[in-house]
Amino acid sequence: MLNSSPDNTHNFDNQHYVSYQKVVKESSSKRLRYSLYILGAFVLIIMLLPWTQNIRSGGEITTLRPEQRPQTVNSIIGGKIEKWYVKDGDMVKKGDTIVVISEIKDGYFDPKLIERTQDQISNKELSVISYEKKVNALDQRIDALIQNSKLKVQQAKIKYKQARLKITSDSIEFEASETNYGIAKDQLIRFEKLLKAGLKSETEVETRRMAMQRAQASMISAQQKLLQSRNDLIDAKVEVNSTETKFRDEIAKAESEKMSAMTDMYNAEVEVTKLQSQVSGYNIRSGNYTITAPQDGYVTKILSSGIGETIKDGQEIATIMPSIYDLAVAMYIRPMDYPLLKKGQKVRMQFDGWPAIVFSGWPNNSYGTFGGTVFAIDNFTSENGMFRILISPDTKDHPWPNALRVGGGVNAMILLNDVPIGYEIWRNINGFPPDFYGKDTKKQGK
């Protein structure tokens, strides 16, 4: 049994145990406490040091303006490559010839196509002039018909009025002859009665009978003239209507011919316009046989090669990088970090191929990084489900290296709020988002 009872007065000799002597020394325990105190103070100081919260993401170098980005040169028309004037890496000015192509469509093989089309335009223009003259002639004819119709109708109406007046005259004459006949008849009756009474002779009675017969003949003649006048009145009315109808038909026919002539003239003008459009298209197409550089830049890649190779409409034939451009950085951030961003926010960037020593929490102590500001933020997600932002150079910071080229890689840090390191460690352990960076943040939280 162990001799561990409190009543045990047996003392063992600890001088024989070296390990025990090192552990139980009073000086050794004080040194350990001091070391722990110093370590705790050091950790506490580190926890209180400032740390700049940031959003880190990769991106690539691009340009601010779309016309400054690499672009392809396309062939507007299809054709066959005849001669190349550039090669990969050549510097070209705006308007310099890149390649010359020839025609491959049979509808444009005629070398005098434009001249022959212009001749067709001249002929069609003469047709337009002819139709215009015909329209003018028909207008004059219509005016003449209208004037003649007015005169003819007026003449027919005058005849109609004359016929009416003649009826009036003949009717008066008929009434007078009828009255004379009645008087002669009455006189004959009276003379016959006087003859029977022996007061008149036979000769006087015969004379009255002859007078009555002459009056009767005159009455019949006047009646016949009256009937003839009435018939003439009807003829005059028919002539008025016939004259109006005749000239109306002639004017309508002339108007129809005029409309036909105008239709032909307008069709000829349409043909002239179409031919003029074709000539313009032929001229533009002939100018597209020579493909030129759209702006100053460098030919980075020839996409269609070989002499005699055919290309389609709109086919890409070369890629050009503009010689003058404003660099920017395009990077993508997660949707959860989108509310933390705003235009003008500061960014630190490390470019691929450029040596740098980066302290993400102390951007001011990093070496080899360059400053930028948030220039634009997309309002919708990209195909990768993240938001794209554009970063422009910070004019108050060091200028970006001249050796940078579009398409290079970038590691960017969007700077947010300054917090203690202890708070940042606690935030990351709990998965909380960074603090919103802005002057009005505290006011909004109150």
Residue 47 lies in a domain: no
- In a shared domain, residues 163 and 174: yes
pLDDT confidence tier of residue 99, bands split at 50, 70 and 90: very high
Residue 8 lies in a domain: no
Residue 17 lies in a domain: no
pLDDT at 136: 92
- In a shared domain, residues 376 and 391: yes
Among residues 173, 187, 168, which one has the least CA distance to residue 219?
173
pLDDT at 20: 57
Measured in whole angstroms, the distance separating CA 342 from the mean position of its chain's CA atoms is 34
pLDDT at 52: 65
Helices (H) and strands (E) in the chain, counts: 6, 14
- In a shared domain, residues 198 and 98: no
- In a shared domain, residues 219 and 95: no
Residue 219 lies in a domain: yes
Question: 282 in helix, strand or coil?
Answer: helix
Residue 263 lies in a domain: yes
pLDDT confidence tier of residue 432, bands split at 50, 70 and 90: low
Residue 443 has pLDDT above 80, yes or no: no
Instruction: Fill in the amino acid letter for 153.
Output: V
pLDDT at 413: 76
- In a shared domain, residues 298 and 357: no
Residue 187 has pLDDT above 50, yes or no: yes
CATH number of residue 99's parent domain? 2.40.50.100
Domain boundary among 276, 301, 322: 322
CB 52 within 8 A of CB 415: yes
CB 344 within 8 A of CB 396: no
Buried b (16+ CB within 10 A) or exposed e, 64-101: beeebebbebbbebebebeebebeeebebeeeeebbeb
> Residue 150: is it exposed, middle or buried by C-beta count within 10 angstroms (0-12/13-18/19+)?
exposed
- In a shared domain, residues 143 and 230: yes
Strand order of the β-sheet with 297-302 is: 71-74, 316-322, 297-302, 91-92
- In a shared domain, residues 81 and 135: no
| CA distances for 285 relative to 97, 104, 292, angstroms | 16, 12, 14
Give the list of residues 6+ apart from residue 197 with CB closer than 8 angstroms, or none: none
Beta bridge partners of 235: none
Strand order of the β-sheet with 97-102 is: 290-292, 97-102, 79-84, 310-311
Strand stretches in 78-203, DSSP E: 79-84, 91-92, 97-102
pLDDT confidence tier of residue 339, bands split at 50, 70 and 90: confident
Question: Could you tell me whether strands 290-292 and 310-311 are parallel, antiparallel, or unpaired per DSSP bridges?
Answer: unpaired
Here the tokens at position 40 are: 């705790």
Task: Count CB neighbours of 173 within 10 A.
Answer: 18
The average confidence (pLDDT) of the chain is 81
pLDDT digits (tens, 9 = 90+) for 256-310: 998 998 999 999 999 999 999 988 988 888 888 999 999 899 998 888 877 888 8
Residue 11 lies in a domain: no
Distance in angstroms between the alpha carbons of the first and the last residue of the chain: 72
State pTM to two decimals: 0.55
Residue 4 lies in a domain: no
- In a shared domain, residues 387 and 414: yes
- In a shared domain, residues 305 and 344: no
- Provide the domain count of the chain: 3
What are residue 125's phi and psi, to 5 degrees?
Answer: -65, -40
CATH number of residue 440's parent domain? 2.40.30.170
pLDDT at 439: 46
- In a shared domain, residues 139 and 91: no
Give the list of residues 6+ apart from residue 192 with CB closer than 8 angstroms, or none: 205
pLDDT digits (tens, 9 = 90+) for 198-257: 777 788 878 888 888 888 888 888 888 888 888 888 888 888 888 888 888 998 998 999
The more confident residue out of 187 and 440 is 187
pLDDT confidence tier of residue 368, bands split at 50, 70 and 90: low
Length of the chain counted residue by residue:
446
What is the arithmetic mean of pLDDT over 169-181? 84
**Containing domain of residue 241, as a range?**
113-287
CATH number of residue 211's parent domain? 1.10.287.620
- In a shared domain, residues 256 and 239: yes
Residue 445 has pLDDT above 50, yes or no: no
Task: Tell me the C-alpha distance between 366 and 391, whole Å.
Answer: 19
CB 418 within 8 A of CB 54: no
- In a shared domain, residues 141 and 201: yes
Residue 18 lies in a domain: no
Residue 344 has pLDDT above 60, yes or no: yes
